[in-house]
Structure 1
Amino acid sequence: MKSGRQLLTAGVTALAPAIWGSTYLATTEWLPPDRPLLAATVRALPAGLILLAFTRTLPTWIWLWRTLVLGTLNIGAFLFLLFVAAYRLPGGVAAMIMSVQPMFVLILAALFLGDRIRFTHVVACVLGAGGVALLVFKGIVALDFVGVAAALGGAACMATGITLTKRWGRPDGVGLLPFTGWQLVAGGLVLLPFALSIEGLPATITGTNLIGFAYLILLGAVISYAIWFRGIERLPALAVSFLVLGSPIVATLLGYLFLHETLSIPQLVGILVIIVAALLAQPRPVKTRGPGPHDPPGSDNPAPPEPKPVMDMEGKRP
């Protein structure tokens, strides 16, 4: 039963990366062109303010700096580095490099959470990276150093954010929605000066742009990040990190369906490999024996049998 609940939790948590994968289509089709940082800022900051206005809960003094750290790692710095990598590297290469993120989580979870590194976890990391390579690889290309560094930095930010979110948890008495709102506001404030100084505001905003911004705020942030942080609470850090690899799968499928992009046999194999890797990374059910004669009714964990009395040579108790 417990393994079934964990698998269901993993499936629900995977909805968040799936929504993030759809934001590529929303950004290219509905938002002003060439302003990804503005899109990320509008996605995070208003969503966080909406949640704070709805919940009316602010962080205490110790959670002020923790929120800034988590919001920067999970949202602000991660999205900024992601867009730098996407601009400076050819199509798909950034996603390939950032697929090392589960490997970072594997190491960080062992160091800071005490999680054991298992052979299946290592295999899952290799399969996940290989699956993403099959999914997005477009041929041999020249690599830009800044782009590669940004992609690796983005993967490290997300891995560290997942690990620290798991380690710190939520403060007592604070619900999931305000906790999500804190991080969205912090991440949006980190992004805001970069968006204004690098890209600026568009000259005009159309009705289609407003639909795109509403999609990013409500689905791309409020709902998806609440689902995501709920999953981090309930699943092992490594299991959550692999679910992020679902984002390029959804982006590829939507590009094929709506943008007339190609979908080859290697890409389909890559999708299958990523799914297998994510399943390998999920926690395994613990096998228990049925109740024994010395266990109380309803017990699934048998107690050790009572020790036999010591007998002397004639079979009598001493």
Structure 2
Amino acid sequence: MEAKWRIVAVTAVAPIAWGATYVVTRHLLPADAPLWGAALRALPAGLLLWALARRRPRGAWWWKAPVLGMLNFGAFFVLVYVAAQLLPSSIAASIMALAPLALAGLAWPLLAQRPTARWAVGAALGLAGVALVVGLGTGAVPLAGVVASAVALLASSLGAILTTRWKDDTPLLATTSWQLTAGGLALVAVAVMVEGAPPTVDATGLAAYVGIAVIATAVAFVCWFTGLRHLPAGTVGLIGLLNPVTGVLLGVAVGGESLATPQALGIVLVLVAIAVSSRARSRNLPPRGAPGERPDPAQRRYDRSDT
């Protein structure tokens, strides 16, 4: 059980880092170049991890890496950008908070991970917590924004599940680097067509781009994919709810925003949801990967340690 909680802690680094990017982006980066912001986040992170992994794709990874790169980064970042332009932030965050349900729903047929009653309780608490944290949007909601946000959610969820299903003995650092590089190249192409030349920033902005690329992307996605290798997908989805929680807390600490009582209650509910789900034992068949792939021994070890 102690080993499993270490994996939970490692996985939590990802949504916490992503939540921190809201404050950094809002205060230090140009607001009129979101696509370049995504491209300059993904591509440098991919090249950095590739330099560390020192390994080129082989065999099926020549097509798997671009597919995963588009789902996890390229298409996802573009659709999130479209949704952010059309929807209130509270509505967009609420739709993306459905990630635990999407991950668990896809993990059942594709990974044979059957959600448990304990996980269902955790999911209900987590969704209620996020609703309290981000608040409820009012007024008319553009259908195009809802569709863009929902497709982004499904794309990233499918990418996460396929990342787990297609895992083999290739080092995680290498597969993550290939995905980021492929997705980053696609984002550069879209950014050039939509926004033109990359934005000019000062030394502070450059440092912010480097921090987001290294910490909130390279390190964060290695941690995220580590969680997907060793924990049930639904549990990883609930850990991801730390993303909006971190954004709200940093807004209070750095941006001078206030924390209302319902938000504080929502944060508590999210933390309880993660604790409840992390203790749940996934009633799943042996993990399925690529045809002929052996189940990960580490995964079996964590499954046995569940209580």
- For Structure 1 versus Structure 2, the TM-score category normalised by the shorter chain is 0.7 to 0.9
String of CA shifts for 1:197-242, please: whole Å, max 9, x gaps. 2223355321111111111111111211111111211111111111
Cα gap change, 1:238 to 1:139, in 2 (>3 Å):
closer
| 1:156 CA drift (Å) | 0.9
Given the two structures, how large is their TM-score scaled by the length of structure 1? 0.84
Secondary structure at 1:45's aligned position in 2? helix
Query: Distance between the aligned counterparts of 1:202 and 1:65, measured in 2?
Result: 28
Secondary structure at 2:225's aligned position in 1? helix
Given the two structures, how large is their TM-score scaled by the length of structure 2? 0.87
String of CA shifts for 1:6-60, please: whole Å, max 9, x gaps. 1121012101110011111111111122212111110100111122233321111
Cα gap change, 1:141 to 1:124, in 2 (>3 Å):
farther
Query: Distance between the aligned counterparts of 1:115 and 1:203, measured in 2?
Result: 44
2:79 aligned with 1:81: yes
Query: Distance between the aligned counterparts of 1:17 and 1:254, measured in 2?
Result: 13
Decide which of 38, 41, 60 is 1:40's aligned counterpart.
Answer: 38
Mapping 1:46-125, distance limit 5 Å = 46-125=44-123
Query: Distance between the aligned counterparts of 1:102 and 1:138, measured in 2?
Result: 19
Give the partner amino acid of 1:73: L
Query: Distance between the aligned counterparts of 1:204 and 1:60, measured in 2?
Result: 37
Cα gap change, 1:284 to 1:130, in 2 (>3 Å):
closer
Structure 1 or 2: larger helix share?
Answer: 2
1:179 maps to which residue? 175
CA contact (8 A) 2:116 2:281 kept: no
2:241 maps to which residue? 245
Decide which of 188, 193, 197 is 1:197's aligned counterpart.
Answer: 193
Aligned sequence identity (%): 39
CA contact (8 A) 1:91 1:138 kept: no
Give the partner amino acid of 2:100: P
CA RMSD, 1 decimal? 1.8
Decide which of 242, 256, 266 is 1:260's aligned counterpart.
Answer: 256
Query: Distance between the aligned counterparts of 2:56 and 2:227, measured in 1?
Result: 22
1:134 maps to which residue? 132
Query: Distance between the aligned counterparts of 1:192 and 1:88, measured in 2?
Result: 22
Runs of 5+ consecutive residues of structure 1 not aligned to the other structure: 287-300, 302-318
Aligned pairs, how many?
Answer: 283
2:14 maps to which residue? 16
Query: Distance between the aligned counterparts of 2:223 and 2:105, measured in 1?
Result: 24
String of CA shifts for 1:99-120, please: whole Å, max 9, x gaps. 1111111111111111123222
String of CA shifts for 1:230-279, please: whole Å, max 9, x gaps. 12111111111111110100100111111122210000111111112222
Query: Distance between the aligned counterparts of 1:98 and 1:259, measured in 2?
Result: 23
CA contact (8 A) 1:15 1:224 kept: yes
Q: Looking at both structures, which has the greater relative contact order when contacts are Cα pairs under 8 Å and sequence separation is at least 6?
A: 2
Secondary structure at 1:61's aligned position in 2? coil
CA contact (8 A) 1:45 1:189 kept: yes
CA contact (8 A) 1:162 1:241 kept: no
2:225 aligned with 1:229: yes
Query: Distance between the aligned counterparts of 1:47 and 1:111, measured in 2?
Result: 32
